[in-house]
C-alpha cells in the first residue's frame, strides 16, 4: 500500500456513515448529513407498492454526486415493520 499524506475524500459513503453516527445514542442521524453542507440532499424512491415487501430506496447526494443508497424493505404496505435495511451503493 502506498504511503500518502493526501486526506481521504469527504465524498465517500463510509465517511457519510461515520459523520452521521451519534456514538452516545448508537444511532445514525440524517439531519446532520443534510444540515452539514449546502447541496447535501436525500431522495426517496418507492420501488414497489406490493402488499408485502414494500421497498424504499434512499439516495444520498452531494450536489449531483451520488454518495450512497440505502434500501429498506417492509413486511407489508403499512410500512410499520422493517424486514431489512441494506446499503446497496
Grid coordinates given for 42: 436525500
Q: Label residue 57 by pLDDT band (50, 70, 90).
A: very high
The pLDDT tens digits of the residues spanning 65-84 come to: 999 999 999 888 788 888 99
CA atoms within 13 A on the CB side of 50: 9
Residue 19 has pLDDT above 90, yes or no: no
> pTM value?
0.65
Q: What are the CB-based long-range contacts (under 8 Å, 24+) for 63-71?
A: 63/39, 65/11, 67/11, 67/12, 67/13, 67/16, 68/13, 68/16, 68/17, 71/47
Amino acid at each position: 500500500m502506498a504511503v500518502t499524506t493526501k486526506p481521504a475524500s469527504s465524498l465517500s459513503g463510509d465517511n457519510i456513515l461515520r459523520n452521521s453516527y451519534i456514538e452516545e445514542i448508537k444511532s445514525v442521524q440524517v439531519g446532520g448529513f443534510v444540515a452539514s453542507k449546502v447541496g447535501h440532499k436525500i431522495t426517496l424512491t418507492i420501488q414497489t407498492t406490493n402488499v408485502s415487501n414494500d421497498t424504499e430506496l434512499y439516495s444520498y447526494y452531494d450536489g449531483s454526486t451520488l454518495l450512497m443508497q440505502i434500501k429498506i424493505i417492509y413486511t407489508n404496505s403499512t410500512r410499520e415493520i422493517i424486514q431489512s435495511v441494506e446499503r446497496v451503493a
